[in-house]
Structure 1
Amino acid sequence: MQTQQLHVESISTVANDVYKIILTCSEPLQYQAGQYCMIVMGEGDCRPFSIASSPSESNKIELHIGAVPANAYAWDVLSVMRETGLITAQIAHGDAFLQPTSQPIVLIAGGTGYSYAKSIIHECVAQQLTQDIHLYWGAKSLEQIYEADELSALASQHANIHFHPVLEHGGKDWQGKTGLVHQAVLTDIADEIAEYQIYIAGPFAMAKVARDDFAAAGLPSDALFGDAYAFLD
């Protein structure tokens, strides 16, 4: 594990209350696609955030942080970055990183859990994996799927990449998938779910329900990956 002081290259707003942060380091950073960093705010105060960049970008870390002033846990991290232009991070944590496999892959993201999926899908491209890779991104509104254009472009460039935005309620003009994001996955692959590796990031409640429903559909427990499962019974 590395503890590094990182420079804040940029902070940009990508959706309502969601910020993309680019951090750089003069030394190569070593991590696996799907791991997270701990932002050091003080002694005994380290806060986890998924790494959105691919390990192939070895001198850069990308984070996606949902933050509002009422939520000091994330807002204080953003404030320190803005005020000082520097942040200390421990890199890297987590065991739910991309595993070697020839199986088809499903990535499931709820909200800013997309940052976890982004790291993995871009690493799959960097490794030139050829199996089908599906990314399901669930949100309440299309505006919260803030990299839809980039993912659609990625899918158009790679025949094995498939992007599925899922809106909780949709609307009269929405032609795509609706409902719970993990249920959209089950609708598509329930009959062959045992053939897949599945990676998931989002609220713990979402991860727990998905785990139970996927197990009932026949997914082996060792084919499901997510940082939430280190903390859930």
Structure 2
Amino acid sequence: MIEWNVHDPSGQEAAAGMWDSHIRLYSQCPPGSVNSACQAAFLGIHLTSGSSAYLEGAWVWTADHDLDTSGSSEISIFTGRGILSESHGPVWLIGICALVNAQNRCIGLAQTETSYYQPSPAAPAPYSTASTYNDPTFSSSISIGRPGECTFSLRTTSSYLNYSQDGLTTNACQAQIFNVDSVSNVIGYSASTIGTIWVGRSSNNADGFQETFTAWSE
């Protein structure tokens, strides 16, 4: 949808920015179906390696409910990627995040949510992975981190399995949702998860509706 190539002029940090912008990917596609006509976009926003950005309140949403109907019925829309940041910084992401080979950034008030329809189909279907965009292999040893990352108030949610919320009774919709590799330099504050077995990979904290750690560093 958007490719972001602009960089701040020298001495004017955060001059290249976008505020309170909303990209909604939507169609009339009932849940439980995999229809090629419901593949809405290849990629939402791409921050290229030479860019810098200040993005605040930028919402890139693959719709899971039809907000134009009175009942807000569930729908199945597919996008290959949401926000892909390959920028070497500086980048400020306030309210959003998605990083690959990225460096020197501050992320605040970020929220991610697993697709309601997964694992039917399982990622990456109905798309194919593309090495050009460093797509993950969805193994347990994904390595995407780089130096200089900091997150504040991160909320990650996995509440559905093929539109069912049965996994919330055991907090086992997903094994893990916050993963940092051994080569990264990451600091996280006020991170909360819902519906996962582990808050972080090293500990089992399946207790209560929302699990939170106050501070974590690698």
Larger RCO, structures 1/2 (Cα 8 Å, 6+ apart): 1
TM-score surpassing 0.5?
no
Query: By percentage of residues, which structure has more helix?
Result: 1
Please give the TM-score of this superposition, normalised by the length of structure 1: 0.28
